[in-house]
């Protein structure tokens, strides 16, 4: 049992080292921008455009649920017109980037891990090395760059759709005064709230792509290894987003309070 525990710790530390080395190589390649524009544009389309449906549905219903729950509580103290302000701040700061990241991690993260895992199993990655093509430059960096680009754009869409859906629910379904709701939302939702959400989304996009690429490149051989890598990519990406969100909230909130 002691040996098994020691072996698991050793394997975890070795995996952390491999992940750090992959992140270092990807960062070095990003700085020198060794990215083919064609690959980058395709990954932006794959991560961004093809994820719009799930992100927009998630944003819309999140805004509607948040508006209804906030209204039911604020109605008790006669603060109905502050409902949209709470929705706006919540979507910009937290719910918009976090839920968008989780949805993209479930859809794109698993797909990236499955694609790269299949390439590893079929020895296509080894073939790239024989052709003097670095797998990090060709496979990893375009996906990380596309994640950094696509996720903030998806987050903006999610926030806008969520606020619009909450406005419709609040005004036409719950009977909140439209003018005062909109004025309060604009008064209490500041530019810094949107910037915090976009910074979080930028970080999440890179993390999702990096973790998914690592799981795909290091998966075990065979169909079982690819399946496990796919599951772990989605799970680890989601957990990392939630953990990172806590620290980003503390740091960015502190910086915003000083501005």
Model confidence band, residue 155 (pLDDT cutoffs 50, 70, 90): very high
Compute the Cα dihedral for 155, 245, 12, 224 and give only its sign: negative
Residue 108 has pLDDT above 70, yes or no: yes
Position 98 scores a pLDDT of 93
- Average pLDDT for residues 145-162, to the nearest whole number? 92
Q: At what angle do helices 223-258 and 96-104 cross, to 10 degrees?
A: 170
Instruction: Tell me the pLDDT tens digit for each residue of 204-249.
Output: 999 999 999 888 888 877 777 788 888 888 899 999 999 999 999 9
**What is the domain partition of the chain in residue ranges?**
37-250
d(CA 151, CA 206): 9
- Average pLDDT for residues 128-154, to the nearest whole number? 83
Position 132 scores a pLDDT of 67
């Amino acid at each position: 049992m002691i040996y098994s525990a020691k072996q698991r710790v050793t394997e975890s530390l070795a995996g952390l080292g491999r992940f750090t080395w992959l992140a270092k190589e990807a960062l070095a390649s990003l700085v020198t921008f060794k990215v083919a524009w064609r690959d980058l544009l395709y990954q932006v389309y794959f991560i961004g455009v093809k994820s719009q449906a799930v992100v927009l549905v998630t944003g819309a219903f999140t805004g509607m649920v948040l508006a209804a729950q906030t209204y039911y509580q604020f109605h008790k103290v006669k603060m109905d017109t502050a409902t949209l302000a709470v929705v706006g701040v919540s979507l910009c700061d937290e719910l918009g980037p976090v839920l968008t990241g989780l949805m993209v991690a479930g859809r794109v993260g698993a797909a990236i891990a499955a694609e790269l895992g299949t390439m590893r199993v079929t020895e296509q990655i080894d073939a790239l090395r024989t052709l003097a093509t670095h797998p990090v430059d060709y496979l990893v960096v375009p996906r990380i760059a596309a994640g950094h680009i696509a996720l903030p754009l998806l987050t903006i869409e999610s926030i806008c759709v969520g606020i619009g859906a909450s406005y419709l629910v609040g005004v036409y379904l719950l009977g909140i005064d439209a003018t005062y709701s909109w004025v309060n939302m604009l008064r209490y939702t500041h530019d810094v709230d949107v910037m915090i959400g976009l910074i979080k989304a930028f970080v999440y996009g890179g993390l999702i792509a990096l973790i998914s690429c690592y799981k795909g490149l290091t998966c075990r051989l065979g169909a079982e290894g690819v399946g496990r890598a796919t599951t772990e990519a989605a799970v680890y990406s989601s957990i990392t987003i939630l953990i990172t969100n806590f620290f980003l909230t503390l740091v960015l909130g502190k910086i915003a309070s000083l501005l």
